[in-house]
Amino acid sequence: MTAQHVSSTLAEPNTDLELIPAALRRIRARFATGVTKDRTWRDQQLAGIERMVRECEKEIFEALHADLGKPEIEALSTEITYVANDAAHARKHLSKWMKPTRVSTPLVVKPAKAEIYSEPLGVVLIIAPWNYPFQLLMAPLIGAIAAGNCAILKPSEVTPHTSAMIAKLLPRYLDPTCFEVIEGGVKETTKLLEERFDHIFYTGNGTVGRIVMRAAAEHLTPVTLELGGKSPAIVDATADLDVAAHRIVWGKFFNAGQTCVAPDHVLVEESVHDALVTRMVAAVREFYGDQPQDSDSYARIVNEKHHDRLVKLLDAPGKHEVACGGTHDRSDRYIAPTILTDVHDDSPTMADEIFGPILPVLAMRDVDQAIARVNAHDKPLALYVFSSDTATQEKVLAETSSGGASVNHIWLHLACPELPFGGVGESGIGAYHGHHSFDLFSHKKSVLKKPTALDPTILYPPYTDLKTKLIKKVL
């Protein structure tokens, strides 16, 4: 398949709203039987996900390609194989994660054993976005299963092929009594949010994140909000510019810039600005050729609405110069990989998260100015620093706050399953991946176990002067 054959003919999915409370009642009753607490049940579900990915790889890829024109390598590395590896990682560590953790006890409660038990929360709701529509539904689901939960899953209606594929395949590979896929958009999500869940895991934009959190507050339901933001890449004068240019261009134009952790813009020391831009423009040509529209390695914009939104950002006379790209074709939902220079502060590209293949490059006097600029805005989901100087790397990490960061690369920190992935401030609440997902979907129950052979009376009334003296010594 080539990237040009993007199809968007599938209608937005629709679910009978009355099914939602009934499905939740049924799943809640099933959770109450305790079936999900069993390690074997959890392992079987995770193995089912691995099997589904193995057996249905082609079907999963075709759905992703139809929705986003995803190149095969991008679909494999960040969605298909990613999910299989994530499930395998959870299976490998499941027994260890499930074991109670022993902690120390103070003298006053000795002899005793203090432990943290992980218990499942119950029925969780997972609401996914459209940019990595398979991974961002399945990865939280893997954590929820590992922790022993049932789940209702709401794929994004913006990627209808992937939504339909998930609704068709998941019940074949998972215990259908414990999981339900509800397809649909605002109407269905609004109905879901009226119900009481034991956790809501939402990935998407901050506006809907607020809607989710407000609805969750009605039931005192805890939320995880995986949001976005304008993630900067800082490049200083000591950076290896060839490597920086290749990595920034790769990380930005992967999935046509529709990645929550893509570098939104580049802040580069002015002494190396021109050299970096020249190298980035060359990297675009090297990766996608003279006609990126003909490249099998370049994805498409998810729909016309987002295409129009991005074209509007480009249509800002006098607010920037185009170093490369700038062209588009609505009928193909194509926007060329675009690098902008001389970007004014009031350029529309600098207002909200770009979330598309447009990369403004801003010259900074020095790293201090770049840091000040980052700190003058909302805390981003990711931050990148390209520098050969470890002191500068550490300075940027210490003086800025972001959900995560990579040094001398773009978003590879996400590929480490034991690094927590999540935002801070406007970029989100909570973090997952690896055992962090298990912890997120578990209640950590404090348990103290005391022997009965000894039962000192020091704590019991009547409170005497001697007991007071002893308590002062022991506490």
- Residue 229: CB minimum distance to ligand NAD, A: 7
- Residue 124: CB minimum distance to ligand NAD, A: 15
- Residue 383: CB minimum distance to ligand NAD, A: 14
Helix axes 39-55, 135-146, angle to 10 degrees: 160
Closer to ligand NAD by CB, 1 or 211: give it.
211
Q: Is 324 a catalytic residue?
A: no
Report the SS3 class of residue 233: strand
Q: Which residues contact 413 (CB under 8 A, 6 or more apart)?
A: 382, 404, 405, 406, 419, 421
Report the SS3 class of residue 416: coil
**CB contact at 8 A, 419 and 406:** no
Closer to ligand NAD by CB, 162 or 341: give it.
162
Number of alpha helices (DSSP H) and beta strands (DSSP E) in the chain: 16, 20
Closer to ligand NAD by CB, 118 or 162: give it.
162
Task: Give the C-alpha separation, 203 to 422, whole Å.
Answer: 10
CA distances (Å), origin 362, targets 122, 150, 347, 391: 48, 47, 12, 23
- Residue 352: CB minimum distance to ligand NAD, A: 9
Q: Which of 56, 178, 260, 324 is catalytic?
A: 260
Q: Is 226 a catalytic residue?
A: yes
Question: Shortest Cβ contact with ligand NAD: which residue?
Answer: 228
Angle at alpha carbon of residue 356, lines to 355 and 360, rounded to 5°: 90
- Ramachandran angles phi, psi of 415, nearest 5°: -85, 0
- Residue 68: CB minimum distance to ligand NAD, A: 12
Closer to ligand NAD by CB, 337 or 423: give it.
423
Q: Which two tokens stand for residue 164?
A: 């339909």
Task: Give the C-alpha separation, 405 to 35, whole Å.
Answer: 39
Q: Which residues contact 318 (CB under 8 A, 6 or more apart)?
A: 344
- Residue 428: CB minimum distance to ligand NAD, A: 6
| Cross-strand bridge partners of residue 386 | 235
Binding site for ligand NAD (CB under 6 A): 127-131, 136, 154, 156-158, 185-186, 189-190, 203-205, 208, 211, 226-228, 260, 353, 355, 381, 423, 428
Q: Which two tokens stand for residue 270?
A: 């002015």
- Residue 379: CB minimum distance to ligand NAD, A: 12
Closer to ligand NAD by CB, 118 or 258: give it.
258
Closer to ligand NAD by CB, 227 or 272: give it.
227
How many Cβ atoms sit within 10 Å of the Cβ of residue 32?
11
Q: Which of 188, 226, 269, 426 is catalytic?
A: 226
Task: Give the C-alpha separation, 376 to 392, whole Å.
Answer: 19
Closer to ligand NAD by CB, 211 or 275: give it.
211
Task: Give the C-alpha separation, 38 to 35, whole Å.
Answer: 6
Q: Which two tokens stand for residue 272?
A: 């190396």
Report the SS3 class of residue 304: helix
Q: Which two tokens stand for residue 364?
A: 């900074």
- Known catalytic residues are 226, 260
